[in-house]
Structure formats: C-alpha cells, structure tokens
Amino acid sequence: MREPGGKWRTKRYFEGNEEIHHPAGTRARNTSMRKLILHLKGEYFDEIKAGRKPKEYRLVTPYWEKRLVGRSYDCIELARGYPKRGDTENRLTLPWKGFQRETIIHRHFGPHRVEVFAINVAVEPKDRNPGAAGPLHNEG
C-alpha cells in the first residue's frame, strides 16, 4: 500500500504463528520457468507437430512487441485451440529458440504484405519420441 507522499508501506505476511515483514515488492517472485503460450488453429498445430511448419507468425503489433521484444523464455507451449487442463494430446512444449521479424504474404493475414514476428517452432529430432518416426514427444 502507498502512504501519503508516495512511499510504500511494508506488507505483512503470516506463516504459521510467525509474522514476516517484507518491503512491498521484495517478496520472493515466482521462480518457475518462463513460458510463452500460443493458441493455434488445429491445422497449424498439426503441421508444427508433424515437423512441416518451422515458424509461427504473429502480426507486429504493440501487443506482440510487448511479449516478444527484449524478452527471453525457457520454453514455448503450443496449444491446439483452448484445450482443457491436463489435455496433453493438444499441447506441445518446445524449447524457446527465439524469433525474427519478416515481411510476408499469407492467406491468414490477407492479400497484402505484412510485417510479422516469425517465432521459431521448428521441431528438432531430439524433440521427437525416440521410438517413433512421426509423433512428437509431448511434455505436458
């Protein structure tokens, strides 16, 4: 909470019977993996999973600039639509390999050239199930 004059007050947290004081904003942050989640149309998800589509495109907009430019992720999760929690068949987790800006013409964006973020979603052989030629190893 902010006090008059713009200073932040100390927040109080209770663990068990012990009162713990942390200056506001210094409490331990979530240290889990940084994951970028992309929801895809079924046809694009299937192409990526089969290894035929190495890039996923997003228009260069303030929304996507904020999520991509100057950021790094541990992994990227691709979802076929909006699957239920625990539906591992329609989710695919790949290592984050970055992106680049490209100018393309694509039926999804209309007949004109558009600038996009081309997110690298290429499936490497190590991402595949060792005993299978086609399907990917899906990391839930």
Using CB atoms within 10 Å of the CB of residue 45, give its burial: 0 to 12 exposed, 13 to 18 middle, 19+ buried.
Answer: buried
What pLDDT sits at residue 123? 86
Q: Nearest-CA neighbor of 121 among 44, 60, 34?
A: 44
pLDDT tens-place string over residues 83-99: 999 899 999 999 999 99
Q: What's the mean pLDDT when you consider all of the chain? A: 78
Is the pLDDT score of 26 beyond 90?
A: no
Is the pLDDT score of 129 beyond 50?
A: no
Least confident of 18-22, 44-48, 58-62, 73-77: 18-22
Contacts (Cβ under 8 Å, ≥6 apart) of 104: 57, 113, 114, 116, 118
89 or 138: which leads in pLDDT: 89
Q: Which domains does the chain have, with CATH numbers?
A: 33-127 (2.30.130)
User: CA angle at residue 109 from 84 to 60, to 5 degrees?
Assistant: 80
